[in-house]
Amino acid sequence: MSKLHLIADIGATNARFALVSDASNELQQQQTLAAADYADLTHAVKAYLAAIGAPKVARACLAIAGPVHKPVFTLANNHWQVNKVEVEKLLACDILWLNDFAVQALGVTALGADQQKVIKSGTGRNDGNRLVIGPGSGLGVAGLVADKGRWVPVIGEGGHASFAPGNAQEAAVLQHLQQQYEHVSVERVASGSGIPVLYKAIAELAEQEVRYTDAAHIAEAAKQGDALAEQAMQMFFAILGQSVASAAVIMGATGGVYLVGGILPKLLDQLQASEFVERFVKRGRFGTYMDEMPIILSLDANLGLKGAALAVQNQ
């Protein structure tokens, strides 16, 4: 009889749960729970299992946007504290604890042709290192390295690298933000939560009214021709392009760059019309190296869960 395995992709805003079996990687009993509705991961897992009839699971893969190597930790961008012993007692099975971007990285290895959009063409090597990066509440970064016929995720905290401005306006924004934050990281400005930060800084530097406080309203205002919102979105994509390029150079991503997460597909038209690619390839004497790298946008909303399914089935 086929065994069931619990998989989860847990970010700052949502916790996505599903079941898979030994026989198939098809997602079953898929549910998304809002992190704000639960005190911590243990309560969210209990709620999910209760909602689907409390099945017995043989193994679990829990992918979380936090320092999963620690026995107890708090997520970087929400209030949840994770106590691994509590969760292990609740599930009473072997648990594979992974960084959320480890499963995003594994997910791109099985990305279908109809689930991706070429943002920039290139001549990526089939066995070359890959970069997997995406703005969400923060900026997730991971690598993929080929090893004896399989892909191995390389996990770091690249979103917390320092923001490096690419022009005078960005330098002015950085200087303005340094008066508010001890450290201005890349994800402080190149993420979903970073769009309002950029917009507010641009408005304050121009001594204009701050009319919007969330990314969705700023993106929509930019589409409607609001000048400050347009500047914020243009700067967001430009900074993101430069930041992705820096990570790609460090990773040696000759196999290509994969953009993941739920934000960029919603902003596809603005992404394609922006300076993102221009800033990506703008590397002076290293421009040819960058120009050869393809950039692929994942359109798969379940990429993390599918990566977790691959991980738990190969455990």
Q: What would the pLDDT profile of 92-119 be if each residue is shown by its tens digit?
A: 999 999 998 999 999 999 898 999 999 9
- Sign of the torsion formed by the C-alpha atoms of 305, 306, 309 and 310: negative
Q: What is the pLDDT of residue 66?
A: 83
Residue 279 shares a structural domain with residue 176: yes
Distances (CA, A) of 203 to 3, 181, 222: 55, 18, 14
Query: pLDDT averaged over the chain?
Result: 94
269 and 162, same structural domain?
Answer: yes
Contact predicate 305/10, CB 8 Å = no
pLDDT over 70 (residue 218): yes
Same domain, 125 and 274: yes
Instruction: Tell me what pLDDT residue 157 has.
Output: 87
Q: pLDDT band for position 78 (50/70/90)?
A: confident
- Please tell me whether residues 136 and 74 are part of one structural domain: no
pLDDT at 314 over 90: no
Regarding whether 141 and 44 lie in a shared domain, the answer is no
CATH number of the domain encompassing residue 16: 3.30.420.40
What number is the average pLDDT over the span 71-85?
87
- Give percent of the chain with pLDDT exceeding 70: 99
pLDDT the model gives residue 149: 85
Q: Is residue 37 within 8 Å of residue 58, measured between CB atoms?
A: no
Across the range 273-299, mean pLDDT stands at: 96
134-172 confidence digits (pLDDT tens): 998 889 999 999 998 889 999 888 999 999 999 999 999
Q: Would the pLDDT of 315 be above 80?
A: no
Taking the C-alpha atoms of residue 143 and residue 74, their distance in angstroms, rounded to an integer, is 23
170 and 196 inside one domain: yes
If pLDDT is split at 50, 70 and 90, which confidence band does 124 have? confident
Q: Collect all residues with Cβ–Cβ distance below 8 Å to 175 and sequence separation of at least 6.
A: none
Residues 275 and 138 in one domain: yes
Q: Do residue 290 and residue 167 come from a single domain?
A: yes
Same domain, 162 and 285: yes
pLDDT exceeds cutoff 80 at 190: yes
Cα dihedral across residues 189, 163, 274, 261: positive or negative: negative
Confidence of residue 23 (pLDDT cuts 50, 70, 90): confident
Share of the chain above pLDDT 90, in %: 85
Shared domain for 224 and 274, answered yes or no, is yes
Question: What is the CB neighbour count within 10 angstroms for residue 124?
Answer: 19
Torsions phi, psi of 208, nearest 5? Answer: -120, 165
Secondary structure (3-state) at 23:
coil
**Is-contact 75 275, C-beta < 8 A?**
no
**Alpha helices per DSSP H over the chain:** 41-51, 84-91, 100-108, 168-178, 186-189, 194-205, 215-223, 227-251, 263-266, 268-272, 276-281, 287-291, 303-313
Do 193 and 268 share a structural domain? yes
Q: What is the CATH number of the domain that holds 150?
A: 3.40.367.20
What mean pLDDT is predicted for residues 182-204? 97
Q: What was the pLDDT predicted at 53?
A: 95
pLDDT score for 1: 62
Residues 82 and 128 in one domain: no
Domain count, the chain: 2
Range of the domain at 164: 113-299
